[in-house]
Amino acid sequence: MSYTNIGKTESVIVSQYGGNFAFGAGDPAVTIMAAWTYLAGRGGGKIKLRGDGETWTTQIQIDSKGDNVILEGNGRYGPMLYLADSKDVDVIRVTHDNVVIQYVHVNGNWEHQTRDAGASQTATSRGIRFTQSDENVLQNGKVLYNYVEDVAWHGITMNQCESGLIHGNTVTNIGWNGIFAYRVSPSYGVIMSNNDVSHCGDVGMGMYGSRCQVVNNYIHDIDGTHGSGNTQWGAGIEGGDWNIIKDNVIDDVLIGIGTGFIADEDPQYWQIIGNTISGLTNASTGGHGLFIKARNGVVKNNTICDLPDWGLGGVYNVGIMIDDGATHIRVEGNTLSGATGYHGIVPYGEDDIWISNNLFLDDPEIAVKLRGACERIQVVGNTIFNGT
């Protein structure tokens, strides 16, 4: 992995005792920020956190103090940055360009966060957060190979960032979204790849931006047992244009992938391609492989397994649900399978939907079902196999 625009190669070590910067009995966050200020003043460099097996309790969030700095831990078993009791802040917040956070172990101490376990979400802490400062868009931020756990709101976020990369991280036990390319003003060109995301209350990986990508991730066990979010979606496009969800493995979720599920948002020109979705859980509340509520998109070459009977629990379970408001969509080359009696693809009162060359295995009750006032729906070249 290369790092662009890191000004110099100078490195300093932060540890409890010894190294270039030692915090002793003090707050490690203060010492890390002092090292950051030192390197940024010299054109950039790397901060190495050393103290394997140690827990470093921070009373305040670690704020970036300049551009062109790498903050590097020593993996999951290196020093763990642990947020103090009842602190409703981010563990690491970055507001500068060309910053890399890598191999850091972050624990948000979620159990001691101020929060409401019911329908509302009051805790606003994040594990690692990149966000604009003074209305400037952040450039070239990278979050690589970190271990982020027990955070009350979002595990890793990029807010109003260009050309960001979130790669190779493990994110687990998160109250809301695991990884999120953030809203306010759309992020542009954030790539989220090769991450392992699990046990999130709402959405495993989501985006509210333009030209963002969720690619080659493993998203699993989004079980609704954490936090106040309870959507239990593997991945989602909440807003913005030209976004891609591709080649992910998604397992044990309520809904595999969704688009356009926030009121008054209308993502366009999106692609959902080559994903494998299995193990739809809690189907008694209405599980779908894909839930589409957006315009001008492509759903292609996805494999959706383990679909429940469409009426299990008295609710409606569908392989690909194309909901009211979705128009100009191509659904082609997908493979669906599940329990005998599942429903495959269901457009619900939509317009200009092309459904072609899909394969339905395991004897579906209905492969394609048109509901509501559908118009300009074309169903062409699909194959239904009933196992006999």
Say what the pLDDT of residue 116 is.
42
Distance CA 108, CA 342 (A): 41
At 329, which helix (H) or strand (E)?
strand 327-332
Q: How do the domains of the chain map onto residue ranges?
A: 1-182+193-228, 232-388
The tens-digit pLDDT sequence of the chain (388 residues) is 233 445 457 999 999 998 999 999 999 999 999 999 999 999 999 999 999 999 999 989 999 999 999 999 999 999 999 988 767 789 999 999 999 999 999 999 887 665 444 434 456 789 999 998 766 788 899 999 999 999 988 999 998 888 899 999 999 999 889 999 875 455 568 999 999 999 998 899 998 877 889 999 999 998 766 665 567 889 998 877 889 999 999 998 888 999 875 555 567 889 999 999 998 765 555 678 999 988 899 999 999 998 877 665 555 778 999 987 788 999 999 999 987 778 899 888 667 899 999 999 988 888 998 887 778 889 999 999 875 4
Say what the pLDDT of residue 385 is.
87
Say what the pLDDT of residue 184 is.
44
Q: Which two tokens stand for residue 111?
A: 């159990």
Distance CA 278, CA 254 (A): 10
Say what the pLDDT of residue 268 is.
83
Distance CA 248, CA 184 (A): 26
Say what the pLDDT of residue 120 is.
40
Cβ atoms of 322 and 350 closer than 8 Å: yes
Distance CA 203, CA 207 (A): 10
Q: Which superfamily does CATH assign the domain made up of 1-182+193-228 to? A: Single-stranded right-handed beta-helix, Pectin lyase-like (2.160.20.10)
CA atoms within a 13 Å half-sphere pointing along the CA-CB vector of 36: 26
What SS3 state is found at 313? Answer: helix
Pairing of strands 244-246, 213-215: parallel
In 3D, which of 105, 113, 44, 37 has the Cα closest to residue 72?
Answer: 105
Distance CA 274, CA 152 (A): 31
CA distances from 371 to 14, 61, 316 (A): 62, 51, 13
Cβ atoms of 227 and 202 closer than 8 Å: yes
pTM: 0.92
Cβ atoms of 102 and 128 closer than 8 Å: no
